[in-house]
Amino acid sequence: MVLSVSKYFALAKADFFEKLNYFGTQVFSSFFICLVIFIFFNIWTAIYAGKGIIEGFTIAQMLWYLGVAELIVMSSQLRWIETISEEVRTGIVASMLLKPINYVFSKLVLHMSNFLYGFFTSGFFVIFVVYYLAGPIDVLPRAVVFSFISIIFGTLLNFVILACLGFIAFWIEDSHAIFWIYQKGLFILGGMLIPLDVYPEWIKGAIINLPFSFIIYNPAKLFIQFNFLEFLRVLFWQLGYIALFSVILFVIYQIGIRRLQINGG
């Protein structure tokens, strides 16, 4: 069976062991996140001078939000757009068709395992640094659990969008520009640099329900200001977007593969 779980688990396990060869690199990138958080700490300390709360966030909540948002982005393997398009261009996709395995599914599993690996290794450093700089905030255990679920669904959504963009390589040769635009879109519209609440109301209204915010802003905000109804609302939007982009992905992939099978690599 092409969709048997054990083969994808074996792939993810092997990929995890392969990643362990570069554990030092992962630790180094974790230091980079800590540096970014330190810069945010200084900027927001200046912004918060004399103010207790900005748009519903205390400075500690703001830093914890930015820590989680940064962690999501750094673990998200945005370069997958380029990886997938490279595999389309070099014909690796075609050679994967020779194996009894689903290419998109295998990429999804690897994407998730890479995300979890990055999230947990860097997470350790992020918690340490944010705790040291901002101190503790009141977080309910269920907030941790449900925001993590939300982060996972956000990552799934990120994957289907990345895969859609990566498979455009069936038609265009270089996906670098697409990667660049998507990355910047995610940083600005997804709430990695500042929470969307800080934007002027009309901008916030325009971008709050875009898919970007369900990858970073909403899951990260659930961590610091948990509300079960809000969790359900976010999950509803995430599932809706995942379904929508999965349909688009399915269509792009089928047309692309057919094109490959008709016109060669």
Partner 1 sequence: MIPVIIVEGLTKIFKVKSKSVGFFGKLKSIVWPKYSDVIAVNDVSFEIKEGEIVGFIGPNGAGKSTTLKMLTGILFPTKGVIDVLGFNPHKQRTKLAFKIGTIFGQRQQLLYHLPPIDSFNVFSKIYEINSAEYKERLSNLVKLFNLEKYLNTPVRKLSLGERMRCEFVASVLHKPQVLFLDEPTIGLDIIAKKKVREFIKKLNEAEKTTIILTSHDLDDIEELCNRVIVINEGKILYDGSLDKIKKKLKYKILDVYFHEQIKDIPKIPNAKILEQETFRIKLQVNRSKISVIELLDKYFKNYKIDDIIIEDPPIEEVIEQWY
> Is 177 a binder of partner 1 (CB under 8 A)?
no
Task: Using CB atoms within 10 Å of the CB of residue 249, give its burial: 0 to 12 exposed, 13 to 18 middle, 19+ buried.
Answer: buried
Number of residues that bind partner 1 (CB under 8 A): 29
Closest approach, Cβ 115 to partner 1, in A, equals 19
| Long-range contacts formed by 92-99: CB under 8 A, 24+ apart | 93/257, 93/260, 93/265, 94/260, 94/265, 97/257
Helix/strand number for the chain, H first, E second: 11, 2
Q: Is the CB of residue 185 less than 8 Å from the CB of residue 191?
A: no
Q: Could you give the CA distance from residue 87 to residue 96 in angstroms, rounded to a whole number?
A: 10
173 binds partner 1 (CB under 8 A): no
Query: Is there binding between residue 7 and partner 1 (CB under 8 A)?
Result: yes
- Site residues for partner 1, 98-117, by CB under 8 A, read 98-101
Q: Judging by beta carbons within 10 Å of its beta carbon (0-12, 13-18, 19+), is residue 57 exposed, middle or buried? A: buried
Among 94, 116, 127, 139, binds partner 1 (CB under 8 A): 94
The beta strand positions in 98-247, using DSSP E, are none
Q: Between 4 and 254, whose beta carbon lies closer to partner 1?
A: 4
Tokens of 12: 């993810």
**Interface residues for partner 1 in 16-55 (CB under 8 A)?**
17-18, 21-22
- Asked if residue 247 binds partner 1 (CB under 8 A), the reply is no
The answer to whether 64 and 130 are in contact (CB under 8 A) is yes
Tell me how far, at minimum, the Cβ of 175 lies from partner 1, in Å. Answer: 18
Q: How far is the CB of 14 from partner 1 (least distance, A)?
A: 5
Using CB under 8 A, which of the segments 15-23, 142-150, 165-173, 174-182 binds partner 1? Answer: 15-23
CB neighbourhood size of 209 (10 A) = 13
State in angstroms the smallest separation of the CB of 183 from partner 1.
26
Least Cβ distance, residue 212 to partner 1 (angstroms) = 31
Binding site for partner 1 (CB under 8 A): 1-2, 4, 6-7, 9-11, 14-15, 17-18, 21-22, 91-92, 94-95, 97-101, 258, 260-264
